[in-house]
């Protein structure tokens, strides 16, 4: 374990996930315990903590990629929540997901908008 990457990763996850910071980590403990370390150290501690883009831009990229892939609904939901935690508005999230229709297709966009709708309802943003 790399202590510096681990500390940076935990801080980044808390910045994005807020009070749900342990959820993305606890999901994998029973099945693949090393996945937690990979997520914390590599994804959050190394990639998401790089200089060059702030957390809001990184969420934009992440939400766009996950929506375009249309294969990771739980991760998309988590990152939409993260975007809201970082100060994104409901309309900003929706606008990103509308633009996905042009480049990834309407089915991907509509699926992502459905996930966003769930997040908005759960967070009383409707």
H or E stretch covering 79: helix 73-85
**pLDDT tens for the chain, residues 1 to 126:** 788 998 999 899 888 888 766 665 666 778 888 888 888 899 999 999 999 999 999 999 999 999 999 999 999 999 999 999 999 999 999 999 999 999 999 999 999 999 999 999 999 997
Tell me how far apart the alpha carbons of residues 55 and 61 are, in angstroms, rounded to a whole number: 10
Extract the tokens encoding 36.
């937690």
* pTM reported for the whole predicted model: 0.87
Burial of 84-111, coded b for 16+ CB within 10 Å and e otherwise, reads: bbeebebeebeebbeebbeebeeebbeb
């Amino acid at each position: 374990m790399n202590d510096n990457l681990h500390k940076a990763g935990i801080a980044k996850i808390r910045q994005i996930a807020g009070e749900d910071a342990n959820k993305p980590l606890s999901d994998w403990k029973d099945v693949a315990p090393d996945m937690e370390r990979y997520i914390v150290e590599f994804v959050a501690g190394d990639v998401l903590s790089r200089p060059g883009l702030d957390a809001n831009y990184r969420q934009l990229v992440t939400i766009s990629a996950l929506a375009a892939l249309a294969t990771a609904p739980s991760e998309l939901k988590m990152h939409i929540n993260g975007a809201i935690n970082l100060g994104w508005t409901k309309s900003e999230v929706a606008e990103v997901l509308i633009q996905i229709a042009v480049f990834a297709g309407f089915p991907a966009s509509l699926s992502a908008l459905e996930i966003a709708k769930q997040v908005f309802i759960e967070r009383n943003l409707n």
